[in-house]
Amino acid sequence: MQRHLISRSAAAAAVVLAVVLGTAGIASAHVSVSPSSTEQGSFTVLTFRVPNEKDSASTVGVTVTMPAGEPLAFASVKPVPGWTTEVTKAAPAEKVEVEGITVDQVVTQVKWTGGEIKPGEFQEFSISAGPMPKADQLVFTATQTYSDGSVVEWNQPTPASGEEPEHPAPTVQLTAAAAGSDGHGAKAGKATITPISADVATHDDVEAAETRGTVGLVIGVAGLLVAVIALVVASRKKSSGSSDSAA
């Protein structure tokens, strides 16, 4: 009886743990960009998080294509140990000026190769770019190449209904510059360099929030296991008491 109870309790705990951890994995199992929102006219560090979704292959190449219709006048890439970076530039379709200076070449694509994201791992790739254009959003295309030769394109925009597509494109929402700010977009001579607003979430803020969530998850699972153990101990004591009375 005791063994049966222990087995059932352990199985219940395993199911709860699998559901909780499985749900967390599903929510983050696609290429995303942070921050998810920033201010028009600002310079922002855009961090692309790339998880490996395959059990039998590693990610060996990542390419981020910039929005063609909303060129970013300036972009610089943060080195990633073990990876080689290739930056592609081209002339913008429209004239771009920043602080009275005409920008004749803008970054159109950044490619990382030579590294490896193994199954169960993820990597982050950062680009410092700006000024953010005077638009509602920036929609990027991310291409993920695997060691088995397969390629996944993260390029599907999220529809108005809000239902996430199978391969959502990394997207940053852009908000209007704060009152009194000189921030403008990067189109047709209207761009002005401004600092990142203090109320814009940084990548560190996102990391801290995710860490707190992970700690909470671990504490919750630990509490569940303690409750299961307490239940088993109480059952064993009850059974022992019953045996003594019978004797």
Contacts 24+ apart (CB under 8 A), 23-31: 24/217, 29/53, 30/154, 30/167, 30/168, 31/142, 31/144, 31/154, 31/170
Taking the whole predicted model, whether its pTM rises above 0.85 is answered as no
Residue 177: pLDDT over 90: no
Cβ within 8 Å of residue 55, ≥6 positions away: 119
Is the predicted pLDDT of residue 95 greater than 60, yes or no? yes
pLDDT by residue (tens digit) across 1-55? 555 544 555 444 444 444 344 434 434 579 999 999 999 999 999 999 999 999 9
Question: Which has more pLDDT, 229 or 165?
Answer: 165
**What is the pairing mode between strands 171-175 and 137-139?**
antiparallel
